[in-house]
Each structure stands twice: as structure tokens, then as C-alpha cells.
């Protein structure tokens, strides 16, 4: 029986997937409960072994559904399961025909894969959303102030709140950006903040994505798909719309004009090309904004500006939304072997002939080694306590932390400082002894390459399975636009869901799926 079956929920206060032999893999033994050692902010991680209950966003403890899900739940109760199963299959056809595909690295067979889409929306109340947006806005402001500071006056280093060495030794810190003022004073035009939830009002920032966060096309296409398949749901629920994201993005990019631009600014999206895993998103955003999608070989420097090769000769570009990493941006400045970038673009940038979004060198703000200092960073620049919590983090570069991590590998999540996409990480509670020992060797060899965090009791949201609704762990990536005129957070975001029962890994490259994310009106 599904825990979302109301009758079941009313009789058993505990959802029935708990204690039925399918133990949650991330249980932390009570005698080894992690204590907080780092950061200026105290975070209590619930001891999961005591109750082994994960906060479920649809169900409450008492007698049914949490309020954001009530209308949806009533609608759901009226739907025959086979009808929903058919809709689910329709959605897949819809995605395939539209070509919303994802290239997976390291798998030759599956060159283009669909990210599984679950048709049950993740619903966030207006109140929850306002809590989140206040915290996100504060954090994004701090990130931009931090970037401006470490590339200019370096006050935070002088004040000793962030170790100098951490910046100096970091590959994401670009000396070429020292003293450079990005057009409009904006460093991170687009930010994706990854959040997880553990309780009613318990949200944690898992990661700040300040380089080139992806996934926004899925936020938009997931909504499009839901509107197409279940129009009646949107007349029953007051869901805030996400569809104006592309026009806001364009407006926000056009608000950061480089000095040399004297007419209406021309925007373009720079993609590594058709074989990149996120190519669909690049072309989608260019199409939705009504701007050109360019590759490095379409561009060159002319008259101290960047120009694209058109059927009528070279035409200037003023704002480049680049979806390639810093390293590949300019072979004359960074990786000399890069063919994806534009030779000389950094010179043009420094002489204010082009706006690059996000600015080069923003990676230093979302680096996993910096992450643990975020509460200090927020406080330093905003003068306020951080509204959104950080997950407790052990920096393996520090001897004391390293020895703690070594002793508790079976209960921690260990991540590479510079890794992304869920690769090269260890989920202790889910790993075999052999895997743990193999990882221990890697950790020992280069401790500064890793950080460790406790396994959080991530919230669950139901997905549709053959047998009805079933809980699965989720995270949330809202998308933030920063322009000189202010910060704009699209009410929604990308909800990623670990489709395997009990799994905590939501990355699309590792079998995660997505959901439409609803933010309700007041």
C-alpha cells in the first residue's frame, strides 16, 4: 500500500515504507552522532536512527496531506492509476519528440538520453517560498560582494575571515581578473543555488552554482509538459508562472552593457557545440531569448570587440552568455589547447569591449573548499546572519578534520573539492567496505582535494510508480538572475529526484529524474 493512500496515512502515523526491512541506507548510528565543529553557524543534524523518518513534503504526521498538496491530492484521488500511467508514457514521447535530451559522458551507447520526468509536481507554499527567496537573495548578494572584494581590495582576507592560502592556492581563482571591473558591476548574472530540505522549515544550501548552472531549460520544459498534459490542474491550483524566465534573462543580460557598446546591445549564447551534454539547453535558451547561438569558431576579435561571422560579414556582439568553462574561454590567456573559446577575448573583456556572463573567475565563490566559509562570507558583507543554513562540513585539508573523517568514512559523504555532477564522491552509508577502503587511500593521498559532510535526512516527495505513489528523495535548484537593477528569483526551479528507492543521488548523469516545481500564490 502506498503511504500516500490517505486511508493508510490516517491509520498509521508512520508511512509504511519505514521499518519494512528496506532500511534507509544513510542511517547514522546513535553513538556516533556527528557533532558540530565547523562554521560560525550551528546546525543540528537530526539523528536519523531515532525515528528513521524523513520529512515528507506531501504527508504530515497527523492526518493527511500537508496544505500545499491538498488540492493536488484531491485531484489525484480522482485519477485512475492506469490513466496516470498512460500520461506518464505520453510525457516521454513528448520529451523525445521535442528533443529534450541529455548527452551522458562515458557512455557511447546512450549518446542522447532522456532525463526521466515524474508527473507528480513538487509543491512549495507561498510562505516557504518567501523564506527561501529572502535567504537566496542575501546569499547571492554576498557572493557578488565577495567576488568584487577578492579581486580588488581583499578586505575579507585582511580581516582573516577567509584564509589567504585558500584563495591563492585555488585553481578557480583567476589572477587575470584582479582589478577588472565587470560591466554593470555584476559577477554572477545567473546563479543556481542547490537546496535540500530536512524538516518543516529546515532548508540547507548544498552548493552554490556561480559558474554556469544548468537545468533551467528543464524547469521550463517540465512546466510546458505539465500544462500540455494536465491543463485542469492549473485551473485548480494557483501556480506561479515560470515562463518569463527567458525574457527576464535577456533583459538582465542587456542591462550589463560594456563601455564600447553604443547601440542596442547584441546578446549571444556561446556553446561548446552540438556534442556537449547541455547542448539542448544552450539552443533552447538562445531560441527563447531570440539571440544567436554561437561557437568559438564563429567568433573573432575585430576593432577591439567580439564579432560573429554572419552571412553578411562580421557583426559585433556586446554580451556573451557563455556556457563554457573559464579554462576554455581564451587560449591566449588560459588553456592554450582550447578550440572552444575565442583567442583574445580576455583582452577585449579587460578593455570593456564585451560583457561575459558569468564573469570569469566566479568559480572561486562556489568552490567546495570555500563553501564551508559561506556563513562567514554572508555575515561579513551583509552584516546579517545567514538566513539559509550551510551543511556542516569537514575540510580534509585540516589535520584534525581529516582524522575525524577517516574514522567516520562509513557515515559521511565525501566529495571532491573541484568535482561536479556526483562523480568521484563517496556516500559512506551506502558504500561497501571495499569501496570505503579504496576511497580511504585516495583521501590519504591528497586530503586537500576533499571535504566531508554528514548524510542529511533529505526530504521526500512522492513519485508515480506502478503501484501508486512512493516517496523519493529530492533537492531543489532555484534560478537567480542578477542585474544592476536587482535580483530576480524565478518562482520555481529544478527539482531533481533520486528515482531509486532510498537513493540520495539526484544527478541526472547518475539516474536521477526531474519534476515540475510549483510555487503557489498566497
Partner 1 sequence: MLGKTAGGLYWMFRYLERGENTARLVDAGLHIALTHAQSEDDQWDSLLETTEARRQFEASGRIADRQNVLEFLLSDRSNPSSVLSCFHAARTNARLVRTAITREVWESVNETWLTLNEALSRPIIVSELPDLLALIRRQNSLVRGALHGTMLRNDTYDFCRLGSAVERADNTSRILDVKYYVLLPTAIPVGSPFDNVQWESVLRSVSGQRAYRWLHGTDVSASGIADFLIFDTRMPRSLMFSLRETTDLLASLETAYAMTVESHAMAKRQMDVLDGQSVKQVIETGLHEFLQSFRQDNASRAVQIEQDFRF
Residues that bind partner 1 (CB under 8 A): 96-99, 274, 279, 283-284, 286-287, 291-295, 297-298, 308-313
Residue nearer to partner 1 on the CB measure, 299 or 357: 299
**Shortest distance (Å) from residue 282 CB to partner 1:** 9
Whichever of 151 and 218 has its CB closer to partner 1, that residue is 218
Smallest gap from residue 295 Cβ to partner 1 (A) = 7
Helix, strand, or coil here: 173? coil
CB neighbour burial string for 134-161, b if at least 16 within 10 angstroms, e if fewer: ebbbbbbebbbbbbbbbbeeeebbeeee
Which of residues 4 and 245 has its CB atom nearest to partner 1 in the complex? 245
Pairing of β 412-416 and β 394-395: unpaired
CB 473 within 8 A of CB 504: yes
CB of 294 to partner 1, least distance (A): 7
Least gap, CB of 407 to partner 1 (angstroms): 50
Q: What is the DSSP letter of 240?
A: P
Cα–Cα distance, 87 to 32 (Å, whole number): 46
Of 234 and 314, which CB lies nearer to partner 1 in the complex structure?
Answer: 314
Asked if 290 and 298 count as a contact pair (C-beta separation under 8 A), the reply is no
Among the listed residues 146, 210, 483, 181, the one whose alpha carbon sits nearest the alpha carbon of residue 349 = 181
Return the number of the residue (249 or 480) whose C-beta is nearest partner 1.
249
In a 10 Å sphere around its CB, with 0-12 CB exposed, 13-18 middle and 19+ buried, how is residue 517 labelled?
buried
Residues present in the chain in total: 522
- Neighbouring residues of 492: CB distance < 8 A, sequence distance ≥ 6: 219, 223, 240, 242, 478, 517, 518, 519
Sign of torsion, CA 185 187 188 189?
A: positive
Q: Which residue's CB is nearer to partner 1, number 208 or number 281?
A: 281
Alpha carbon distances (Å) from 359 to 186, 192, 202, 364, 505:
8, 15, 32, 11, 30
Nearer to partner 1, 58 or 294 (CB): 294
- With beta carbons less than 8 A apart as the criterion, state whether 512 and 506 touch: yes
User: CA nearest 296: which of 312, 277, 282?
Assistant: 282
Measured from the CB atom, is 229 or 487 closer to partner 1?
Answer: 229
Give me 169's grid cell: 592556492
Strand 202-209, strand 389-390: pairing = parallel
Region for residue 303 given its phi and psi (left: phi exceeds 0; alpha: psi -120 to 50; beta: otherwise): left
Q: How far is the CB of 254 from partner 1 (least distance, A)?
A: 18
Smallest gap from Cβ 343 to partner 1, in A, equals 18
Which CB sits closer to partner 1, 307 or 386? Answer: 307
Q: How far is the CB of 287 from partner 1 (least distance, A)?
A: 4
Residue whose CB is less far from partner 1, 201 or 311: 311
Name the minimum Å distance from CB 125 to partner 1: 34
Nearer to partner 1, 157 or 229 (CB): 229
Q: H-helix or E-strand containing 225? A: helix 216-229
Closest approach of Cβ 96 to partner 1, in Å?
7
The position carrying cell 579504496 is: 438
- 426 φ, ψ to 5°? -115, 125
Task: Report the Cα 218 to chain-centroid distance in Å.
Answer: 12
**Closest approach of partner 1 to the CB of residue 302, in Å:** 14
Distance CA 239, CA 517 (A): 9
Q: How far is the CB of 313 from partner 1 (least distance, A)?
A: 8
Amino acid at each position: 500500500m502506498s503511504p500516500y493512500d490517505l486511508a493508510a496515512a490516517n491509520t498509521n502515523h508512520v508511512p509504511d515504507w519505514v521499518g519494512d526491512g528496506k532500511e534507509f541506507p544513510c542511517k547514522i548510528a546513535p553513538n556516533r552522532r556527528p557533532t558540530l565543529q565547523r562554521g560560525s553557524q550551528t546546525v543540528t543534524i537530526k539523528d536519523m536512527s531515532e525515528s528513521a523518518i524523513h520529512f515528507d513534503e506531501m504527508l504530515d504526521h497527523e492526518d493527511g496531506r500537508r496544505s500545499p498538496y491538498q488540492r493536488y491530492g484531491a485531484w489525484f484521488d480522482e485519477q485512475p492509476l492506469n490513466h496516470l500511467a498512460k500520461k506518464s508514457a505520453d510525457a516521454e514521447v513528448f520529451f523525445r519528440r521535442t528533443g529534450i535530451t541529455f548527452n551522458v559522458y562515458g557512455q557511447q551507447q546512450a549518446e542522447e538520453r532522456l532525463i526521466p520526468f515524474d508527473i507528480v509536481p513538487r509543491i512549495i507554499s507561498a510562505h516557504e517560498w518567501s523564506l527561501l527567496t529572502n535567504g537566496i537573495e542575501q546569499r547571492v548578494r554576498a557572493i557578488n560582494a565577495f567576488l568584487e572584494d577578492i579581486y580588488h581590495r581583499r578586505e575579507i582576507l585582511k580581516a582573516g575571515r577567509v584564509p589567504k592560502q585558500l584563495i591563492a592556492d585555488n585553481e578557480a581563482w583567476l589572477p587575470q581578473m584582479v582589478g577588472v571591473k565587470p560591466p554593470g558591476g555584476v559577477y554572477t548574472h545567473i546563479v543556481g543555488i542547490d537546496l535540500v530540505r530536512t524538516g518543516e522549515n529546515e532548508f540547507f544550501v548544498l552548493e552554490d552554482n556561480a559558474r554556469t548552472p544548468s537545468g533551467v531549460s528543464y524547469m521550463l520544459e517540465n512546466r510546458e509538459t505539465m500544462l500540455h498534459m494536465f491543463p485542469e490542474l492549473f485551473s485548480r491550483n494557483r501556480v506561479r508562472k515560470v515562463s518569463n524566465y527567458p525574457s527576464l534573462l535577456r533583459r538582465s543580460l542587456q542591462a550589463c552593457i560594456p563601455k564600447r557598446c553604443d547601440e542596442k546591445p547584441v546578446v549571444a549564447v556561446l556553446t561548446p557545440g552540438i556534442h556537449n551534454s547541455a547542448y539542448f539547453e544552450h539552443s533552447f535558451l538562445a531560441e527563447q531569448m531570440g539571440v544567436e547561438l554561437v561557437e568559438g569558431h564563429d567568433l573573432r576579435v575585430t576593432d577591439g570587440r567580439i564579432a560573429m561571422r554572419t552571412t553578411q560579414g562580421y557583426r559585433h556582439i556586446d554580451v556573451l552568455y557563455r556556457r563554457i568553462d573559464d579554462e576554455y574561454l581564451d587560449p591566449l590567456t588560459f588553456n592554450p589547447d582550447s578550440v572552444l573559446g575565442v583567442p583574445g577575448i580576455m583582452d577585449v573583456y579587460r578593455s570593456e569591449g564585451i560583457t561575459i556572463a558569468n564573469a570569469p573567475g566566479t568559480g572561486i565563490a562556489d568552490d567546495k573548499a570555500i563553501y564551508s566559509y559561506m556563513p562567514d562570507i554572508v555575515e561579513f558583507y551583509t552584516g546579517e546572519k545567514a538566513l539559509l543554513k550551510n551543511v556542516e562540513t569537514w575540510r580534509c585539508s585540516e589535520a584534525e578534520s581529516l582524522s575525524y573523517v577517516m574514522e567516520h568514512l562509513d557515515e559521511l559523504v565525501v566529495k571532491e573539492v573541484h568535482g561536479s555532477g556526483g562523480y568521484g564522491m563517496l556516500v559512506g552509508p551506502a558504500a561497501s567496505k571495499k569501496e570505503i577502503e579504496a576511497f580511504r587511500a585516495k583521501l590519504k593521498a591528497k586530503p586537500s582535494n576533499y571535504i566531508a559532510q554528514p548524510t542529511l535526512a533529505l526530504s521526500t516527495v512522492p513519485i508515480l510508480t506502478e503501484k501508486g505513489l512512493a516517496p523519493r528523495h529530492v533537492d531543489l535548484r532555484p534560478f537567480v538572475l542578477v542585474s544592476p537593477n536587482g535580483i530576480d528569483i524565478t518562482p520555481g526551479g529544478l527539482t531533481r529526484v533520486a528515482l531509486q528507492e532510498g537513493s540520495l543521488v539526484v544527478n541526472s548523469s547518475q539516474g536521477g529524474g526531474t519534476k515540475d516545481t510549483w510555487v503557489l500564490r498566497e
